[in-house]
Amino acid sequence: MLSIKNLQAKIGDKQILNGINLEVKPGEVHAIMGPNGSGKSTLASVLAGREEFEVTGGEVVYNGKDLLEFSPEDRAREGVFLAFQYPVEIPGVSTINFMKTAVNQIRKYRGQETLDAVSFLGLMKEKMKLVEIDQSLLNRSLNEGFSGGEKKRNEIFQMAMLEPKLSILDETDSGLDIDALKIVAGGVNKLRSSNNSTIVVTHYQRLLEYIVPDFVHVLYKGKIVKSGGKELALELEAKGYDWIKDEVAVA
């Protein structure tokens, strides 16, 4: 699915990623954890193609293709989805209208016929049920005046609509209370299959109680310094990040 080799990136003059290596196979869930400023969100942005980050080295192979060669929209059309930490507001554009534009542009790219209003509505109803979202929310301007929980739930709804192969959840738990967290995690779990993969970027172990990862990686100073199973997350929760920093310092 995804193979990252020695990925380096900077913003302005500041080097943030210092050689990331990561292999993600179909059906796997990987958690990327780490202290603030370690480069977690940068990694998510670089994979999605955000232009303010400059890739200075390394490679990213996605389903046999050079991901870094694709424009951001083509990455999305190839099946890469980023659930934003801070979903953006677009006044006057409903989620429905937004998703209809997105779904049809993706379908066109893939050589599929675009959906008419009726088929689109059918698909939407099905996904709404799956992620337990209310249509009234989808009629409103995208993310405008949404609560934190509504924004994140809307992200997961969009993920359900676009059926990505690789989903990257960037700090999806931030700003959520426990009930909202459960609903969002429930949606993500329903969308898991043996064909798609998920990268969960998070600071806390809490989310991983609900979205159980196959692998946990600790990112520190732009490098993955430790990898393990889901128990690594618990260890981090118990000990904090300092012992990792100490370990790195000793090495």
Partner 1 sequence: MSKDNQLLEELTSREYEHGWNVALETDSAPKGLNEDIVKFISERKNEPEWMLEWRLKAFRLWSKMTEPKWPNVTYPAINYQDIIYYSAPKQSAKPKNLEDVDPELIKTFEKLGISLTEQKRLTGVAVDAVIDSVSVATTFKEKLGELGIIFCSFSEAVREHPELIKKYLGSVVPMSDNYFAALNSAVFSDGSFCYIPKGVRCPMELSTYFRINAANTGQFERTLIVAEEGSYVSYLEGCTAPMRDENQLHAAVVEIYAMKDSHVKYSTVQNWYPGDKEGKGGIYNFVTKRALCAGDNSKVSWTQVETGSAITWKYPSCVLKGDNSSGEFYSVAVTNNMQQADTGTKMIHIGKNTKSRIVSKGISAGKSQNSYRGQVHIMKRAEGSRNFSQCDSLLMGDQCGAHTFPYIDVENSSSKVEHEATTSKIGEDQIFYCQQRGIDEESAVALIVNGYAKEVLNQLPMEFAVEAQKLLALTLEGSVG
Written as six digits, the tokens of 120 are 């689109």
Q: Minimum Å distance from CB 171 to partner 1? A: 15
User: How far lies 187's CA from each of 30, 122, 152, 205, in Å?
Assistant: 17, 19, 11, 18
Q: With binding defined as CB under 8 A, does residue 199 bind partner 1?
A: no
Residue type at 174 in one-letter notation? S
Considering only 9, 48, 156, 232, the residue that binds partner 1 (CB under 8 A) is 48
Q: With binding defined as CB under 8 A, does residue 176 bind partner 1?
A: no
DSSP H or E run through 244: helix 242-250
Please list every residue from 205 through 224 that binds partner 1, using CB under 8 A.
none
Q: Minimum Å distance from CB 115 to partner 1? A: 13
Task: List, in sequence order, every residue forming a beta bridge with 22; answer none if it has no partner.
Answer: 4
- Please state, in angstroms and rounded to a whole number, the distance separating the CA atoms of residues 104 and 109: 9
Q: Judged by CB, which is closer to partner 1: 132, or 163?
A: 163
Residue with the two structure tokens 């991983």: 208
- On whether the CB atoms of residues 205 and 233 are closer than 8 A, the answer is yes
Q: With binding defined as CB under 8 A, does residue 49 bind partner 1?
A: yes
Q: Minimum Å distance from CB 52 to partner 1? A: 8
Sign (positive or negative) of CA dihedral 14, 80, 100, 161: negative
Q: Minimum Å distance from CB 247 to partner 1? A: 35
Q: Minimum Å distance from CB 81 to partner 1? A: 8
Residue type at 205 in one-letter notation? Q
- On whether the CB atoms of residues 8 and 57 are closer than 8 A, the answer is yes
Q: Judged by CB, which is closer to partner 1: 62, or 220?
A: 62
Q: Minimum Å distance from CB 178 to partner 1? A: 27
- On whether the CB atoms of residues 78 and 65 are closer than 8 A, the answer is yes
Burial 45-54 (b: 16+ CB within 10 A, else e): bbbbbeeebe
Considering only 72, 148, 175, 186, the residue that binds partner 1 (CB under 8 A) is 72
Q: Minimum Å distance from CB 226 to partner 1? A: 29
Please list every residue from 74 through 133 that binds partner 1, using CB under 8 A.
75-77, 81-82, 84, 87-93, 97-99, 101-103, 105-106, 109
Report DSSP state, residue 213. Answer: -
Span interacting with partner 1, options 19-27, 46-54, 132-140, 204-212, rule CB under 8 A: 46-54
Q: Cα 246 to the chain's mean position, in Å?
A: 29
Span interacting with partner 1, options 65-73, 114-122, 191-199, 202-210, rule CB under 8 A: 65-73
Q: With binding defined as CB under 8 A, does residue 158 bind partner 1?
A: yes
Residues of the shown chain interacting with partner 1 in the complex, contacts defined by CB under 8 A = 48-52, 71-73, 75-77, 81-82, 84, 87-93, 97-99, 101-103, 105-106, 109, 141, 158, 162
